[in-house]
Each structure stands twice: as structure tokens, then as C-alpha cells.
Structure 1
Amino acid sequence: MTNPTAAALIARSNRLGADPRNTNYAGGNTSAKGTDTDPVTGEPVELLWVKGSGGDLGTLTESGLAVLRLDRMRALVGAYTGVDHEDDMVAAFDYTLHGKGGAAPSIDTAMHGLVDAAHVDHLHPDSGIAFATAADGEALTAAAFGGKVVWVPWRRPGFQLGLDIAAIKRANPAAIGCILGGHGITAWGETSEEAEANSLWIIRTAESYIAEHGRPDSFGAVLDGYTALPAEERAARAAALAPHLRAIASTDRAQVGHFTDAEVVLDFLSRAEHPRLTALGTSCPDHFLRTKVTPLVLDLPTTASLEEQLARLDELHEQYRADYAGYYQRGVDAAVAAGTPAEELPAMRGADPAIILVPGVGMFSYGANKQTARVAGEFYINAINVMRGAEAISSYAPIDESEKFRIEYWALEEAKLRRMPAPKPLAGRIALVTGAASGIGKAIATRLAAEGSCVVIADLDLEKAQAAAAELGGTDVAVGIQANVTDEAQVQAAVDAALLAFGGLDIVINNAGLSLSKSLLETTVADWDLQHNVMAKGSFLVSRAAARVLIDQKLGGDIVYISSKNSVFAGPNNIAYSATKADQAHQVRLLAAELGEYGVKVNGINPDGVVRGSGIFAGGWGAKRAAVYGVPEEELGKYYAQRTLLKREVLPENVANAVFVLCASDLSHTTGLHIPVDAGVAAAFLR
């Protein structure tokens, strides 16, 4: 049963974390001190419950709390030998844990344990960081808050910062909290309610002060030619830029993208001061650890053509990589000069931007997965809000480059990265599956998502596509869209939707189809055209639109055709369906030959009749095929199984398994292949 003190802490944390004005996602930490019963002695024991490393206040649960014995945690003061050794104190937290200790303690644990208050909140509100990054932040803190809030000069989070804040609280008994220079705020109280009220008072007072005393035009005048494009034109230009931008962001390793054209971003990029401010970089560690120190900013007006933008972006990317390498080397040189052996410093993690800003269009953010990319964008919006507030009441003055390097390449940050689970096989890849609201397509989408891919589920039925996507998780995993693959414009819109949702495209599954079971004499021209429009023409349209993206991204990719054993097997009453499947099968060979130079693999899968869950079979095809073979429709799957060598019914999941194998790294050298998934039909053996 959860301790009442811990339960109150979780409730307070969730309330604070639910409002983005209070703190950013996964930003800040909260704590509570109280007593529990020692299970060994049966005696009361004083404990510290504190949000553990990597958690999020808004969604915090008991498992996300680190639990420490307060007496042992405070005893670490005697073991502390100064700032040159404070990283060692994080390892020492392991010796203060109560029982298994819960989540891993974060670097801010000392702040919570050493401050003499029962409840402590450390938060990253935009308004508070605006004061923390203002050039005259100390004077502004005194003016806005009086003696209730104390200024603390920038210090890297750690044991010494905990000692500093504890000393400041003792020296200022009337204070309810402090502004941490370059970083955020900390507040405290003797009850959970008091700590929460004090945190909110600091945040709201900061907001009010900026609103009442700040300049409304803190980002400067609007620049000619930098205002936002109309919404439709903006989306079209974003989709056109997306493949090229993903190539830029993925030079070192493939990234997933997120696009936003929020008004706050568009307004910032239209203002005269945005070049100066973006060059200064972000300040709060939570911000720049996710956004990198600075973004890549396109320095062209919205009147520039797409070709001009792409050419300039390439130039800016080359310069960005050179600048980041210089930043890294300066940090290494400074660390070595201070006594850190070079071999102990982490290698450069990549020199590509995490944030790309395009005036008039919006912001593209990147990360190892969709959530990371989305959160990076959210953090940069936090940074924009911070800059606006700091410039309104003063001038924006973030922590300097050397301090940013010390945090970005901190051994403790490197240890946190090493604790992250290994990525799934398809992590960082983005898939578009047609006809994916049911049957084979849905099974494929489900498998790809389970293996780490982001998935766009395209189907004629929008409602079913969205429902299928919802089953896979939130929009960080899958989105559902409507698309008729026979319509060139709708196909392009589907590819654009993938680009705007996830920043790119890596895997394309041509699965959309239907079937009409008719003999040659019964097949009409309309029947023939329908079959070929959906599967032969539809696959061509999807592959062509996708290939443009795959080539521009320079990341290779996979195109998979769900063909059929009927592409090589001649059966009765199936002329239109089998002919178009043969067309698809040869498209595989043709495209494999054409796209190989770009690293794009093109393969096919030949299933036997997949009855269970199939929209085609449920739509009348099953009844007609059952009539051809003289079996009840409900026994069609068993009939198909008995005519195979393995005597097994082919299920949608069997086809999905083959798709995964083709797209995973083990078959990285395989293209132009057709894999039978038919349980063994000798007449359909490939020759």
C-alpha cells in the first residue's frame, strides 16, 4: 500500500505536471519527506521520496519515485570532498536507498534531501526561466518577488547546488523559493499543499510581472518577406521540404521527424531578432539536451523557391556540422586542460541539427522516435517563450557554451543514455501500409509497429483506418488516413500525410486490393479495369510517389508488394485478379532493378488465400471461391490448408512475419525476391 506522504506527493506532481505553464515534459522533480515503518526493525524510519531520473511529473506513479533513507542521505555531506568529486555522489546515493529504492535517483536528489523543508518542488516554467536567463536576473528577481524568492547564480545541477540552496534557505527564513540562474525555479513548504501553492505563486508572479512590465514587441519588428505562408501552401511546402530535411537530420543516424506550424513558431521566425536569439541557443539543460545547443535556421524569405531553399539548406547543414564539431572540440580541449583524461570523455554523438526552422513554414524537430522528436519541438517552443519573456523585461543571456558542453557530454548524462533499452529492430523507420484497416494490411501494420516502426494506415474507409491506428497506440505510433490508391492526387496526399506526421518514409507496403471471382466470358471490361486500377495502377502510383521521397532522403528503404501465389499459379475463374497480380509481381522485378542504386530494396510476398479477417473474402470473394471449389464458405480456409504441402491455413500474421523479415536488417542484401507464404503450393513454386 502506498505511503500517504508518497501518495500526496504523486498527486501534487501530477497536478503540477499537467499544466505546461508549470514545467515541460519530463522536466523538474518533486519530493516529500516523511516516515514509514522499517520492515526489519519495526521502528519508524525517516524517508525521502523524490521523482526518479527520467520520469515525468504529469504521469508520475509510485514506480517512478526513488526512495532514500533521509539520515543516510544527509550523512553524505560528511563524505563530500568538493565540486571536483561531486559526480561520485550520485553513485553514493545507492548506499542510501530504502529497500530496493524504486527508480534511479536523479542528479537533483541532493537538492531535495539537503533543503530543510518537508516538501520541495524543482520546476522549469517558461516564465521562471525567463527571469533565470535575463541579463539582470538577480535584480529582476528582487524587484518582482521581494525577499520571498532568492536568486541563485548558475551552477551545474549536483551535490554542491543542493548544499548552496540549503544554505540560502537557512540564510533567508522568509523565502519560499529561489530562481536558479540559467535553469529554473525551486520552491518549498512544510506541507504538500504549501509547497504547491508556493511553486504556483512564483510561476504566476513571474508571468504577471512579464505581462505588466515587459515590452510587447520583444522579438522586434516583422521582417518583410518572412510572414507565414497561407495554411495550404505552408503544408505543401513542408511536405516538399520534409524528405530533404530528414536527410540533413539523419546524416549520422536515421531520425524520425515532427512538424509544427504553431503560431508561436511562425511569429518568432517572422521577427527581426530571431537570427540573433537562435544563435544564442537554449539555456535550461532540459531544453538543449533535447534540442541541441542551437537550431539550424533557414535564412531565406518565404518568397524563395523550393530549389533555392534546398540549395541553401545544404550549405547551412555543412556549416552547422562544422560549427558543432568546433563546439565539441572546444569543450574537449577545455575538459582536458582542467584535468579530465581525453579517453574518459564521450565521443561526439552526432553533428546534425535536432531543430530546423523554416520562416513562413514552421519547425521540424527530430529524434530517435516520434515521441522524442515531438518533445524536442515542444522544448524549443518552451525556449521561444523563455526568450520572449527575457527579452521583454531585459535581454536574453543563456549560460555560456562551456557550461552547455559540460552538461551535454557529462559522464552522468552518458550513463543515463546507456541505461536506455536497446532499440527495437525497426526503430526510427516509418511505414505506409495501404489497405491496412483489416486483414493482411492490419496485421502488417500491427507487426511493424510492434517492432518499433511508425505506421501510416491508409484505407478507403477513414473511420476504420483511424480505429486501426488507435489500437496500435497514440499518434506517436500510428495515424489513420483515407486514400483511394487509384487516384493520383489521393496517393500523393497519403505520402504527404506520412511526411507531415513522421517526417519521412522508409517502408511502403502495397497491400490494397480486391478480387472478382469470374470466368473469362463473365469478366466485363469494367471488372478488368477495376482490378487493374486498384492493384496494378494503384501499386504503380504508390511506388512512384514513395520513390521520390526515398531517393531524396538518401536512406534507402523497402517497397514490398503483397502479390499472390496466383501471380504464378493458373486457376479457374480468376482471369482479372490473377493477371493483375502477375503485373504486380513484375513491378517488383522492374523496380528492384531501377531503385537499387538508391539503396531501395523491392520485394514481394505471394500468399495463398488468406480467409480469416480478410475484407476481400468477407466482401463476396470467399463465397464465390467456395462455390468454385464446391465447399461451404465457412470451411474455405480449411480447404485451402488441405491442398498445401504443410496442411496449414495461411493467416494474416504469417504474411506480416514475412514483411518484417524483408524489412529487417538480416535481409539487407535481398531485393527482387518473391517469398511464398502459401504453406506449400507446388504449382506455385517459383522457377
Structure 2
Amino acid sequence: MTTVDQKLHAQLQSLWDDERAAGMSEPEKLLYRSNLLGSDKRITNYGGGNTSAKVMQADPLTGEDAEVLWVKGSGGDVGSIGMDGFATLYMDKLRALKGKYRGVEFEDEMVGFLPHCTFNLNPRAASIDTPLHAYVPKRHVDHMHPDAIIAIAASRDSEELTRRVFGSEIGWLPWKKPGYELGLWLEKFCAENPDAKGVILESHGLFTWADDAKDCYELTLAIINRAIDFFDAETRGKPAFGGAIHKALSDDARRSVAARIMPAIRGFVSGNQHMVGHFDDSDAVLEFVNARDMPALAALGTSCPDHFLRTKIRPLVVNFDPARGNLDEVLAGLADQIAAYRDDYAAYYDRCKRADSPAIRDPNAVVYLIPGVGMITFAKDKATARISGEFYVNAINVMRGASSVSEYCGLPEQEAFDIEYWLLEEAKLQRMPKPKSLAGRVALVTGGAGGIGMATAARYLSEGACVMLADINEDALEDAAKALSGRHGADVVRTVQMNVTSETAVAAAYDELAVEYGGLDILVSNAGIASSAPIEETSLELWNRNIAILSTGYFLVSRAAFGIFRTQGIGGAVVFVASKNGLAASPNAAAYCTAKASEIHLARCLALEGAEAGIRVNVVNPDAVLRGSRIWEGEWLDQRASTYGTDKDGLEEMYRQRSMLKRSVLPEDIAEAAYFLASDRSAKSTGNIINVDAGNKEAFTR
């Protein structure tokens, strides 16, 4: 079997631990079950599906027992949910809601009644799926989106396949948009089929139920495993998607193509907001993009509502031929391809819109399929781009299964539109918090493992940016990444070992950046060294080393950044971390001061060249940032202490007293200036210098 086949046909194993669960309350068992189910993408996708338990609890007012529905709240993820992620509602009030129901054309208004059913003032909002759990007459209910089940649900003859695989144990219901009416359908099905253990919803997913938490969990696994066994028997050895007509490029070649295409796409799709990219060339993706039937299947769109909401009506298939290697031709035609997709999306909106539909949203594709290369996804942040890709892999698995035993069916266009532009979904979008100031921005910070580099990265991350740390010190990079990702999440922090004096290393780092995040918005050129010696003792090697790192290095990383900025066409910001010594001479530091002066003048030149493209270039001049700085370790610290006739302990105090404001300058102070110059707060500033030195009149710029 291929790797793809092995993944598809692997059986799910029960992870339930009786000893661990023995002392748990029923809500705690619900949480345990939920986290176990959400830990495997074959069971459900991120944020997809929901779980519930009906529990007897003391009413906080009367003290009498009340039946309470615990159900995953709106917007949660079963794999990572905590106890506070569940909504709690009185079952007697949920049953009383039936008296308020005015029929299917009014079902959306039922969501407004759910807060009136809240138990114990729980602030977690109940989801649209709450009635689907409430009206199933079993204590525990799982609703999952397993690829193997949706492959049945999305087949043209899904009802027949359901009977063939599960007999009467699992029922089938035709497509119905999630909501109150579907909850009543489930209640009716249970009443008419008291021995059934679950139901498959056409083009949607699986419901299973039991009166015990462990039984419900293991039933869900057993039903999914039966579907896996079915597809194993039906498809083993058969070519998927009509067989391959393209051959995948090598690993390096795939990433090289992605590195050139992603910034170009990013430029086209970032008109309304900056977008972040994600690249996936996993076995499942390559099997699909290289297949004969891929274009036709991709055009059908996804089936499961959760898949669809994350991946849009359909992907864009990029006109790349891996046999011809026609990358330049693809890049030249990309604008037309993306414009055609937008026009098609606008036509879809016009065909399907209703009188009260929200205004058309971003018409750009989320998913981009490239034969021989893989899949690219773009979204408002890295996590969403990655998760959108995961959803489309789920969709690929569904298409593989359905098309191998039947005919795959996407959601009908009008149904798809009614979900995408559902007023309840629109209301959820409107409740989203305002994006942070650097949301969707991508930053590269050289010297990223040092004190100023880390502080700047942390400041950018706190404002929603993605950051790649570049440094020559691999061990320090690893420590920095661990610290920053621990605070801000793994999605938004990447590292690359880079020697800024190497043209090859700089180019490779930018390729890595493009593949990881899709492009670049902010360059912080901060890599540095420091040296101190009288001019007679300044060797040519020492001089050249200062010039190489502090001048040539800044040139190389800036030149590469300008290349990406111009490809994207959405502007950019460059921040040089120079030094007070670039403006004010210092004894015994001719090499260092000269190189820093070169940095500042390079920034002025680049500000002139970049302005017409919206590329801003500015400088931060620190002075005496001792804390956390690797430059102020070893010889430089000894040399500066010797120059000023003090010891190590007294040097920081000497610098503080030398300043006009009598204050120490910290890495976070430099980071604040670097944030200002990278953000839209300084949108009308270029060619400027901000001194962050606690005041030094010799360094005044005028």
C-alpha cells in the first residue's frame, strides 16, 4: 500500500482509560470523551462536530434536581475544549421551545430563544446544533465529521450505501441545513427507530448516541471503523481520482515553485486585508493534484458544511504543468486566472443571493491547487490558513472515497450559498473582535535570537503578526523560538539559520519565509556585532567583518525584501536597527561607527527607491542596550569598559548617567520604536531616524 492508503485504512483505536475516568463526574467524562474524539482528524476536523451529555444537577435556585444539557458551545473545538467551552441549558425549557416554533421558514429565530434556557448563568453561547442534541432521547450524543462517513454521505446513492454498510443499526436522513428543524427530524427518527444507534446526515456527517459516555465514544469509533473497512475492501489497489497524469516534482523543486508563486498570489488577494499563506505537499494532496479527475472534482466543491465554510465554493486550479515547468508562464497569467475566479465568484453570488443576503465578501479563492507541487491556502492569519488546508484534505479524502464507490456530489449551489451567507453566520462574523494592528502581516527579524530581536518579535507577535526569526546562532534560535511560541503559539513563529553576509543563505531564507507564510511585509534588519580598538590596532579583518555584517548584510537582506515587496505590490516596511554611533563618533570604534553610518545612509537611499511602491524605510538608533544583548557579551563589554575607565558592573550606570534623561535603554524600548515604524501609525513616514538613547545631543539628527 502507498502511504496514502495506509493512512486511509488504519483503524481507530480506543484511547479510553477506565482508571482515569473512574473518578470523573458526567460533565468531566463529556470533556474527556470530546478531547479524545477531537484528537484524530479522521474523526472530525478542527472546530467541527459537537458532543453532549444530559446530566442531573441541583438547580441553583430551588436545590431540586434538574436535567441539564451540556453541549459544545458556539465556535469551540472538541479537541481542545475545556469545561468552560460547554453551554449548559435546562432540558425542560428546551422542550418548551417547541411551543415557540413557527415552522421551518422561521427556524433561525429559535437561536434567539436559547439564552432563555441557560442553566446557572453560563456565559457560553449555545450553538445552532443544540436542538439536534437536546431532542435525541439518549444521555450522550456525538456528532462527528469523519472522512470515511462523509464519503458515504456525499455519494449520489448515499442512502443505499448507508444501508449496505450499516443495515438498520445506523439510519439515514436527507440533506437539511443545520438548525431547529433538523433537531425535530432527529427526534422523529429516534421515535420511529428506537433500536438505531445513530444516523448519517446526507452531505453532512454522523450522529451516534448511547446512555453511557464510554459506550457512546466507543460506538462512534466502531461505526467509523466499519466505514473504513468498507472502503478498504472496495478500493484497495484501485487508482484514485482516475489515476495520475502528472508526476510530483522533487521536495526541493516543489518548495522552490511554491516560494515564487505564493508572494504573487498574496499580492493579488491582500487588497482588503493582508493575508497569510500555508503550503501543503502531503501525500494525500499530491495524489489529488496529480490526478486525471482532479479538475472536475475540484469544480464540484466540498460537501460537508464545515468543509465548505472554510474552503469557499471551490478551489482555484493553477495552470502549472510540472512536465513543462512553465512557471514563468504561470506567473505571467496569474492575474488573469485570479480575476476569472473573482468574476466567477461574483456571478455565483448574483445567481444565489436573496433579498436579505449580506453583501458579497472577499471574492478570492482560499485554496489553490498546483499539479506536481501541492496545495496553497490563504487566510487572514496563519492558523486559519493551515486549518483551511486541513479541511480541504478532509474534502480530498471524502472525494476519494465517494468517487471510488459511487459518484461524488458537492452541495447544490444554492444550498452552499445559503450556508456561506447564512445570516446566523454573518452575525457570528460581526461579533468577531477587531483585528490587531499587525494582523495578517509577516515580519522577518535578523539577529532575531538576541535581546533586541526577540523583544521586537514579541512586540510584533502581540499585535497579531507572524514572525520569522533569522540568526546565525542555531542554538539561540531554538531557545528564542521556544520562548516566543510558548507565549504566542507555534503557528506564528518560524526560524531560519542565516548568515546575512552570504547571498546564497539570504536567498534560501527568503524562499523559506515565502513557503511558510506566503510573503513579507516587514523587514527588521538587526543582525549585528560590535568591536572596539584604536585605529592603529584595527586589523583589515576586523574592519571587513564590521562592514560585511553591518553594511553588506543589511544591503543583502534589504535587496531580497524589495524583491518580494515588488512582487506582492502591497508596499512594505523596512526598519534598520542602527546605532547612536552611526551619527555620533566614538573613540576606539572606527570600524563599528563607520559601518553603522553606512547602514543609516543605505536606509536613506532605499527610502528614495521604495517610496513609489509604498515601501517605507526607517531607522531606529539605540544606545547602550546592555540587557539581553549578545553584543554586550565578552570582548565588546570588556573593551568598552576599558575605554571609559570603569568595570563591567559600572558600565550600565555610566551610560545611564551619560544620557540626558538619566535612564537605561532596554530592548523593549527599541522594540516599541520598531513597532511604530512598521505599523500603520507611521504610514506617512519614510527616511526617518528615531533615536532611542535616553538623550544624547551628539546624536541629534539636526
Q: Does 1:297 align with 2:324?
A: no
Q: Does 1:232 align with 2:252?
A: yes
Distance in 1 separating the partners of 2:24 and 2:380: 37
Q: Does 1:533 align with 2:554?
A: no
Q: Does 1:163 align with 2:184?
A: yes
Distance in 1 separating the partners of 2:79 and 2:590: 59
Which SS does the other structure have where 2:535 is aligned? coil
**Which stretch of the first structure deviates more once superposed, 23-32 or 456-465?**
456-465
1:183-582 aligned at under 5 Å gives the runs 183-214=204-235, 216-223=238-245, 226-302=246-322, 303-332=324-353, 335-336=354-355, 344-473=356-485, 474-582=489-597
Aligned match of 1:653: 668
| Unmatched tracts of structure 2, length 5 or more | 1-22
TM-score by length of 1: 0.97
Given that 2:274 and 2:439 are in contact with CA atoms closer than 8 Å, whether structure 1 keeps it comes out as no
Distance in 2 separating the partners of 1:657 and 1:675: 11
Which SS does the other structure have where 1:188 is aligned? strand
Aligned match of 1:31: 52
Distance in 1 separating the partners of 2:474 and 2:106: 59
- How far does residue 419 in structure 1 lie from its aligned partner after superposition? 2.1
Given that 2:273 and 2:440 are in contact with CA atoms closer than 8 Å, whether structure 1 keeps it comes out as no
Q: Does 1:75 align with 2:90?
A: no
Q: Does 1:123 align with 2:144?
A: yes
Given that 1:470 and 1:479 are in contact with CA atoms closer than 8 Å, whether structure 2 keeps it comes out as no
Which SS does the other structure have where 1:345 is aligned? coil
Distance in 2 separating the partners of 1:17 and 1:571: 61
Spell out, residue by residue over 1:496-519, the C-alpha distance to the aligned partner (whole angstroms, 9 max, x if none): 121111111111011001011011
Distance in 2 separating the partners of 1:496 and 1:213: 42
Given that 1:426 and 1:451 are in contact with CA atoms closer than 8 Å, whether structure 2 keeps it comes out as yes
- How far does residue 249 in structure 1 lie from its aligned partner after superposition? 2.8
Root-mean-square deviation (Å)? 1.2
- How far does residue 523 in structure 1 lie from its aligned partner after superposition? 0.5
Given that 1:65 and 1:103 are in contact with CA atoms closer than 8 Å, whether structure 2 keeps it comes out as yes
Given that 1:612 and 1:637 are in contact with CA atoms closer than 8 Å, whether structure 2 keeps it comes out as no
Distance in 2 separating the partners of 1:187 and 1:207: 16
Q: Does 1:635 align with 2:650?
A: yes
Spell out, residue by residue over 1:561-589, the C-alpha distance to the aligned partner (whole angstroms, 9 max, x if none): 00111111011101000000000000111
Matched to 1:500, the amino acid is V
Aligned match of 1:65: 86
Distance in 1 separating the partners of 2:449 and 2:156: 55
Aligned match of 1:341: none
- How far does residue 475 in structure 1 lie from its aligned partner after superposition? 2.8
Aligned match of 2:7: none
Given that 2:60 and 2:120 are in contact with CA atoms closer than 8 Å, whether structure 1 keeps it comes out as no
Distance in 2 separating the partners of 1:321 and 1:589: 39
Spell out, residue by residue over 1:135-175, the C-alpha distance to the aligned partner (whole angstroms, 9 max, x if none): 00000101110001111100000000010011111111121
Spell out, residue by residue over 1:16-37, the C-alpha distance to the aligned partner (whole angstroms, 9 max, x if none): 1111111111110000001111
Spell out, residue by residue over 1:253-285, the C-alpha distance to the aligned partner (whole angstroms, 9 max, x if none): 211111111111111111110010000001111
Given that 1:467 and 1:480 are in contact with CA atoms closer than 8 Å, whether structure 2 keeps it comes out as no
Distance in 1 separating the partners of 2:165 and 2:541: 76
**Aligned residue among 173, 198, 202 for 1:177:** 198
- How far does residue 286 in structure 1 lie from its aligned partner after superposition? 0.8
Aligned match of 1:603: 618
Aligned pairs, how many?
Answer: 675
- How far does residue 3 in structure 1 lie from its aligned partner after superposition? 8.1
- How far does residue 420 in structure 1 lie from its aligned partner after superposition? 1.8
Which SS does the other structure have where 1:178 is aligned? strand
Which SS does the other structure have where 1:615 is aligned? coil
Distance in 2 separating the partners of 1:160 and 1:187: 18
- How far does residue 41 in structure 1 lie from its aligned partner after superposition? 1.1
Matched to 2:394, the amino acid is N
**Aligned residue among 65, 79, 92 for 1:44:** 65
Which stretches of structure 1, 4 residues or longer, exceed 3 Å deviation after superposition? none
**Aligned residue among 122, 130, 138 for 2:159:** 138
Which SS does the other structure have where 1:596 is aligned? helix
Distance in 2 separating the partners of 1:167 and 1:297: 43
Matched to 2:388, the amino acid is A
Matched to 2:109, the amino acid is D
Matched to 1:300, the amino acid is F
Matched to 1:328, the amino acid is Y
